[in-house]
């Protein structure tokens, strides 16, 4: 058993090397913000071209998660599905068993609470630290470094990582033990699921009523109906912009995790299940790589 070093708030220094795995829509911006803050970045993505711009900005490309883990003090992941998370952390070329003792692992993917607990257990066995820290805020929040970050894991590990979180987000909350961050993100996704149906229905209703949806939006987004989705995705819907800030396929994945967790607790989630069924119809229409606002097409 490895001995883990004692932690103090802010113990991760400015010259720490950070490895970032998963440089998609949100990961790209998160890495850029870390580079701007002065951290040394190492990057890996299954599609190497997704890291080209980051390498030009000063990041170092690594050939595999294992190679990356051996070079850094902190590993941050932002990948697609729980199966990807498990492979990146616990697979043969995974980061947990190829990193130096004392490495910090931070999974910012929306994933399974039970997997977050498993990763923490394995990290502790090799003398390292682990947090689950899923985010909300989409592509805009990632770009503008104002993500909401929901963190599960030991309090002292959270305090050590907080300076890095503050480079990527604004609303940073420690929710509890391992898995708590993921459970919080499930609450977030449950709220969004029903809300997105409401946003789409409100906009299509205004259009069918012969109103200008943009003018209607001005009235309702600042009142009781206001929400992030209404203010940020409503204009995209009106403009016919269905590019992904967050993919339909990933939202379906998130809703599946939430339904499974809710079922385990004996909880009925009627709105969530209806939303998932509609998004699955949307996927069958070939829209799995569109943004979540493409749900509007179901109504249109």
Would you name the residues annotated as active-site residues?
Answer: 185
Dist. CA 54–CA 238, nearest whole Å? 32
Q: How many residues does this entry show for the chain?
A: 300
d(CA 217, CA 211): 10
CA atoms of 151 and 146, how far apart (whole Å): 15
CA-CA-CA-CA dihedral for 95, 98, 100, 105, to nearest 10: 10
Alpha helices in 24-64 (DSSP H): 25-36, 52-56
């Amino acid at each position: 058993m490895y001995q883990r070093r004692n932690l103090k708030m802010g113990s991760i220094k400015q010259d720490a090397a950070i490895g970032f795995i998963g440089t998609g829509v949100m990961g790209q911006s998160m890495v850029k913000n870390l580079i701007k803050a002065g951290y040394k970045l190492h990057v890996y993505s299954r599609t190497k071209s997704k890291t080209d711009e980051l390498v030009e900005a000063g990041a170092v490309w690594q050939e595999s998660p294992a190679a990356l883990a051996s070079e850094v003090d902190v590993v941050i992941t932002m990948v697609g599905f729980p199966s990807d998370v498990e492979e990146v952390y616990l697979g043969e070329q995974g980061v947990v068993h190829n990193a130096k003792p004392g490495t910090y692992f931070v999974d910012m993917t929306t994933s399974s609470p039970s997997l977050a607990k498993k990763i923490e257990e394995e990290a502790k066995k090799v003398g390292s630290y682990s947090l689950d820290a899923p985010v909300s805020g989409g592509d805009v929040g990632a770009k503008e470094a104002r993500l909401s970050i929901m963190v599960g894991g030991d309090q002292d590990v959270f305090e050590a990582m907080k300076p890095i979180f503050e480079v990527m987000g604004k609303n940073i909350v420690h929710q509890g033990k391992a898995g708590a961050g993921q459970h919080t993100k499930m609450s977030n996704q449950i709220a969004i699921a029903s809300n997105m149906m409401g946003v789409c229905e409100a906009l299509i209703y205004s259009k069918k009523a012969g109103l200008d949806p943009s003018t209607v939006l001005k009235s309702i987004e600042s009142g009781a109906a206001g929400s992030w989705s209404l203010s940020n995705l409503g204009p995209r819907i009106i403009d016919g912009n269905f590019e992904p800030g967050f993919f339909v396929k990933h939202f379906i994945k998130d809703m599946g995790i939430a339904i499974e967790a809710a079922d385990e607790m004996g909880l009925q989630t009627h709105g969530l299940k209806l939303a998932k069924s509609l998004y699955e119809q949307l996927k069958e229409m070939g829209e799995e790589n569109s943004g979540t606002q493409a749900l509007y097409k179901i109504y249109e």
